[in-house]
Chain A
Amino acid sequence: MPEPYQHEDGQEDEERVVDADNVVERDGWTVVPVRGDLDFYSAPMFAESVRSLAAPGPRRVVLDLADVEFMDSTGLRLLLGVSRDLREAGGALRLAGPGDLVLRLLEVTQVAPLLPAFPDVTSACSD
């Protein structure tokens, strides 16, 4: 099983969920590329990265999910948590380019109002 622990053991770059090097500012939004699986295993690292990126103040953040293939309920919980934290700080969270699987998960769990999804980064950053 020790999958979850491999992360802690510092498995290298390919395990990293948030591509911190390619974060860009765009029209007042901070666009954070996410890749790989957003699940139980990557959750701790994901939470840590996003927290540090979105740390100070009322940030408006777009998570670019185009390269996310899989997300489970733990991943969803984290997105909800990030969204809530940003909202409470006066910021906002949007999702860009989620795949069918992620969209379906958002639909079933009926959280679309909390996690607005856009087809791509450009539309997510408009307005």
Chain B
Amino acid sequence: MDRLRAEVDGLRRAMRSRAVIEQAKGLLMARMSCSADEAFGHLAQLSQHTNMKLAEVAAGLLGVAAPPSSPAVPRGGSPGTGQTAAGRTTAPGLPGTESTGVGQPGAEQSDAGQPGTGQPGSGPRGGGQSRRARAAADRKPEGGRRRGTAPTSRTVPPARVHPAEEQPGTTRTPLDLSSEEAARYHLVAAVLETADDGDDMARLLCEEALGSTEACMVAIALLEPDGALRLVGTHGVPAQVASQWQRIPPQTSVPLTDVVHSGEPVHLPDRAAFAARYPQVDAALMPGEQLWVVPLVDAQGATSGALAVGWPASVQDMSAAASFLGALAQLCGGAVPRLAARTARGALSGDEMWFRALLDSLLDPVLILAPIREAGTESAGASTPASGGTGGDHGGVTDFRIDYANAATVDLAGRTGADVVGRRMTDLYPGMVVSGVFGQLLDVQRTGTPYEGEAEQFIEMVSGHLRSSTMTLRAVRFLDGVLLSWRIHDEDERRAAQFAQAQRLANLGTWQYDMGTGETVWSPEMFTIIGLDRADGTPGPAALADAVAPDDLPAVEAVLHELLTEHRPQTLEFRVTRPDGRPCTVRAAAEAVCDPDGEEVLALRGVLQDVTAWRRTQDALADARDQLAEERGRTATQHAAVTLLQRAIIDVPPPSDPEVMRFAAHYVPAESIAQVGGDWYDRVTLPDGRILVAVGDVSGHGLPAAAGMTQVRHALRGMAYTGAEPAQILTWLNRMVCHQRSDYIATVICALVNPRTRTMTWSQAGHLPPLHVREGAPRVLQTPFGMVLGASSGAAYGSAVVDLAPGDMVLMYTDGLVEHRGADLGRGLSRLVGTVREGCDGELDACVEHVMRHLGTPNPQDDTCLIGFQIPGGK
């Protein structure tokens, strides 16, 4: 067994060195115009002559050819430009970028004049640097000059050129690595990409990169979105300690956190120095006598974590190691995220998947803004021309980068998510900086106090033209950044957009086929789902058959036959062959419209839902659930996220026409963490003038409930827009929930209020009955039949009509209001009726407030939701 493991380890090491050897071969081939075999021959010869391992020779050769540029530890210098360029210079050394890895070094070196005869240690030379150095110089004369001098022409002797003792610990030192370091650097660059996990990476750094310095400990920590540090890998650290320090809160002052906050490296020559600087911390925490901690830098130049290295007491002062460690930190900063991607299911990815999936189902644009911290205020001031008039100190945050933009994102300039992600707020929205709103965002990040703007005029310059629109902006702190959402106030525009979005979000299309005329009518969404161009017109039945995946065609035909002969509604899930080849699974519900005798089918109609993404979301949620089970420490954040989401999802704007109908809603999320349930409500004016009022409850708590809630709510809204009656809507909705064998059931009341006739037509699915309040007297409405959604696909739904007089109110609620654990549900309902009788003889708002005051104590177990509407007028 052990022998087998040793063999595997040996193989793995061989694979790692091979990357370097291949690169060195490529370089030789390009520069000596020789074959691969000849190049390998050269390498082997060198290896023999120098008595070095082949891999080391190769690494040395690469080091000679393209030494790392001064991979400065991040300073105040403009990270957006200089750091990126520096980061890129490492690319040729990384097997991760295979295509450039072999080709580019040779190409870049073609102007270097002297073909490398491959003597390791003949000194760094970097023709490839000059172009970038010039580019950098354009922006940053001082840095550029520094960078320009070293690599271009001077030949550096094998010994260290810049005794770093001159400026110990500073990172402004021009960083020419010794040739030996340069060789190590390249070897490490190659092997880091092969690390199995964080600990493996720490081991590689310790043994391969720093082994010659006798380093005894390496720890890699990454900055988490909430500001804490997570240990992603350690070597030489006792497991007990590594386990205890898995997550380090930002408030803890230890070398790792200090380095991340300041962006400056920390060097502690001995334990006495450690004890002096960190009196609270046991100096024996990190093994070793001498400690160097340097910041990790990601590809964008932002500080992403820290790298700590320890040496035993036997090692002399390592002050001079600053430059080499800086270079390693940069490699590491680039390699760690790739490692996370490679080893799938990084701790964060699960969260991001579900969170983004949910954001995508919202109707309003939402941006996740990640803070950009720029140490050194002078350069921060330069790159963000105006941080508003709010002063400089925002905990170091000077700007935001858009990390994610949900599907609904369209900004004032018409840019969608893809256009804005990765860009800076100050670049995208200079108007916000001028108006001071940007300053508000910084305040939100700093204080955690949400910003809820009034409707205000926003102006942005769009390709030379000023565009303005009235918008309401809302921002809340999310983890370490900000969640920003807005809504445009143009009623018509919004309503049309909402309809399209509701259909789009639920991926729901409607269709009808007239048997007599053979005419087919499709909603626009149908074209999107099937992948056809609307301009080509609605396809006939034959063309449609082509769209069904061949394997599923018999099933579709069987269902059609059943529909035509039995006239019973049908549902079916099948795959669609889209012209663009994108895989697509749809769920179809269809029914036959018969003549009054029920004999002849006049038309077929139904809805079609693209469930491809839903399936993916389900998978993502399953992953997220696994993650949840593993990561209990994060529950507080998740509770906040779910609550926030729920608020965002059920955020319903006040009616723009209170003279037609008043509306009030009160919603209290469950008191205890992660109990937040799936309560939701909706109110929207439909194109025909009727008003949809709906309330519902999805079983379960937390994320799955939130996902079910968005699904049901959006699908219901989309169906309501088709003009269908409540009973029909619930029938469709139930068939969908059943057919997808969802892991939830859902209760719902769906009511359509006609303000002209003052009637409410409503249906329900297993929900508690609404109260009809006339002149202060409540009446529990008789519920039409209708089973909870998701119980049985054959369930039927009745409906009832209520005549409303001016002043009448209707109250709907979820079980959190009347049901407390251990108490009887029936008694809860009587209590509600009693409470309403005492204090609802007047305005709706007062009534809802009265009820919530008496019954709406936060229920620790469940959400509490109460909504109501009132017909204006009356006494």
B391 at the interface (CB under 8 A from A): no
Question: What is the distance, in angstroms, from A93's C-beta to the closest C-beta of chain B?
Answer: 13
List residues of chain A with CB within 8 A of the CB of B792.
84, 111, 114
Q: Does B629 contact A (CB under 8 A)?
A: yes
Q: Whole-angstrom distance between the alpha carbons of A120 and B674 in the complex?
A: 36
A-contact bits for B694-705, CB 8 A (1 contact / 0 none): 000101110000
Stretch at the interface among B76-84, B250-258, B424-432, B821-829: B821-829
- B:726-775 near A, CB below 8 Å: 743-745, 747, 766-768
Chain A's closest residue to B788 (CB) is: A109
B787 at the interface (CB under 8 A from A): yes
Nearest CB of chain A from residue B118's CB, rounded to whole Å: 59
Please, which residue of chain B has its CB at the minimum distance from the CB of A102? B825
Interface pair B788/A111, CB less than 8 Å apart: yes
CB pair A5 B787 closer than 8 Å: no
Contacts of A72 on B, CB cut-off 8 Å? 699, 861-862
0 or 1 for each of A98-126: is its CB under 8 Å from B? (1 = yes)? 00110011001111011000000000000
Docked-complex contact B825 and A108, CB < 8 angstroms:
yes
Given contacts A2-B635, A111-B766, contact A104 B824 (CB under 8 A): yes
Smallest distance from the beta carbon of B790 to chain A beta carbons, Å? Answer: 7
Taking CB atoms and an 8 Å cut-off, the chain A residues in 53-91 that contact chain B are: 69-70, 72-74, 76-77, 80, 84
Interface assignment of A14: CB less than 8 Å from any CB of chain B:
no
**Distance between Cα atoms of A111 and B824 in the complex (Å):** 19
Interface size class of chain B, counting residues whose CB lies under 8 Å from the partner chain: 20 to 34
A7 to chain B, nearest CB (A): 11
Contact A101 B674, CB 8 Å, known A109-B747, A109-B787: no
| B779 at the A interface (CB under 8 A) | no
Taking CB atoms, residues of chain A closer than 8 Å to B629 are 5, 8
Binary interface profile of B, 570-597, with partner A (CB < 8 Å = 1, else 0)?
A: 0000000000000000000000000000
Q: Do A73 and B697 touch across chains, with their CB atoms under 8 A apart?
A: yes
CA–CA, A92 to B11, complex, Å? Answer: 58
Which of B672, B743, B824, B825 gathers most chain A CB within 10 Å? B825
Task: Please give me the residue from chain A that is nearest to B821 by CB atom.
Answer: A70
Q: B675 and A76: CB pair below 8 A? A: no
Contacts of B744 in A (CB 8 A): 77
Cβ contact within 8 Å between B745 and A5: no
**B861 partner residues in chain A, CB cutoff 8 A:** 72
Closest to A87 in B: B792
Report whether A80 and B824 are in contact in the complex, using a CB–CB cutoff of 8 Å. no
When the two chains form the complex, which single residue of A2, A4, A40, A114 contacts B791, counting CB atoms closer than 8 Å?
Answer: A114
B-side contacts of A114, CB under 8 Å:
787, 791-792
CA distance A76 to B629 in the complex (A): 23
A40 to B861, CA, bound (A): 10
Question: Judging by beta carbons under 8 Å apart, are A104 and B745 in contact?
Answer: no
* A1 surroundings in chain B (CB, below 8 A): 635, 639, 672-675
B699 touches A105 (CB 8 A): no
* B785 is an interface residue with CB less than 8 A from chain A: yes
Which of the four size classes fits the interface of chain A? 20 to 34
Q: How far is the CB of B549 from chain A (nearest CB, A)?
A: 26
User: Which residues of the other chain, B, contact A4 by a CB distance below 8 angstroms?
Assistant: 674
CB pair A110 B787 closer than 8 Å? yes
Given contacts A76-B699, A101-B825, contact A2 B766 (CB under 8 A): no
Chain B 782-813 interface residues, beta-carbon cutoff 8 Å to A: 785-788, 790-792
B853 contacts partner chain A, Cβ-Cβ < 8 Å: no
Contact A40 B825 (CB under 8 A): no
The answer to whether B5 has its CB under 8 Å from any CB of chain A is no
Judging by beta carbons under 8 Å apart, are A110 and B826 in contact? Answer: no
A76 in contact with B745 (CB, 8 Å): yes
User: Are B822 and A69 touching (Cβ within 8 A)?
Assistant: yes
Question: Of B635, B785, B786, B822, which is within 8 A of A70 by CB?
Answer: B822
Q: Name the CB-closest residue of B to A105.
A: B825
Q: Judging by beta carbons under 8 Å apart, are A73 and B632 in contact?
A: no
- Give chain B residues whose Cβ lies under 8 Å from the Cβ of A110: 766, 785-788
List A contacts of B788 (CB < 8 A). 73, 76, 109-111
| B630 nearest CB neighbor, chain A only | A5
Cα distance A111–B795 in the bound complex, in angstroms: 10
A2 and B821 within 8 A (CB): no
CB closest residue in chain A, given B828: A104
A33 to B298, alpha carbons, bound, how many Å? 58
B699: which of A77, A84, A101 is its contact (CB, 8 Å)?
Answer: A77
Q: Which of A40, A72, A73 has the most CB of B within 10 A?
A: A73
Which residue of chain A has its CB nearest to the CB of B698? Answer: A73
A80 to chain B: closest residue by CB: B791
A4 nearest CB across to chain B (Å): 8
Contact with B along A1-32 (1 / 0, CB 8 A): 11011001000000000000000000000000
List of A residues within 8 angstroms of B675 by Cβ: 1
Q: Which residues of the partner chain A approach B701 to less than 8 Å between Cβ atoms?
A: 40, 74
Distance A108 CA – B697 CA, assembled complex (angstroms) = 13
Find the residue from A1, A101, A104 having the highest chain B CB count within 10 A: A1
Q: Which residues of A contact B786 (CB under 8 A)?
A: 110
Q: CA of A73 to CA of B861 in the docked complex: distance in angstroms?
A: 12
Give complex CA distance A114, B825 in Å: 21
- Among A2, A72, A76, A114, max chain B CB count under 10 A is at A72
Q: How far is the CA of A65 from the CA of B322 in the complex (A)?
A: 70
The smallest C-beta distance from B652 to any residue of chain A, in angstroms, reads 23
The answer to whether A104 touches B826 (Cβ under 8 A) is: yes
| In-complex Cβ contact of B766 among A69, A84, A109 (8 A) | A109
- B746's nearest neighbour on chain A, judged by CB, is A73
Minimal Cβ-Cβ distance residue in A for B704:
A74
Inter-chain contacts of A69 with B (CB < 8 A) = 822
Pick from A70, A77, A105: contact of B790, CB below 8 A.
A77
> What string of 1s and 0s marks CB contacts (under 8 Å) between B831-861 and chain A?
0000000000000000000000000000001
Contact B700 A73 (CB under 8 A): yes
CA distance A38 to B785 in the complex (A): 26
Question: What is the bound-complex CA distance between A110 and B744, given in angstroms?
Answer: 16
Contacts of B766 in A (CB 8 A): 108-111
Cα A108 to Cα B629 in complex, Å, equals 33
CA distance A73 to B785 in the complex (A): 19
Q: Which residue of A lies closest to B823 (CB)?
A: A101
Other A-B pairs beyond A8-B629, A40-B700, A77-B744, 14, CB < 8 Å: A1-B673, A5-B632, A40-B701, A72-B699, A72-B861, A76-B745, A76-B788, A80-B745, A104-B825, A108-B747, A110-B766, A110-B786, A111-B791, A114-B787
Can you pick out 17 interface pairs between chain A and chain B where the beta carbons lie within 8 Å of each other? A1-B635, A8-B629, A70-B821, A72-B861, A74-B700, A77-B699, A77-B745, A101-B825, A108-B767, A109-B745, A109-B766, A109-B791, A110-B766, A111-B766, A111-B792, A114-B791, A114-B792
**Closest 4 pairs between A and B when the two form their complex, measured CB to CB:** A109-B766, A73-B699, A1-B673, A109-B788
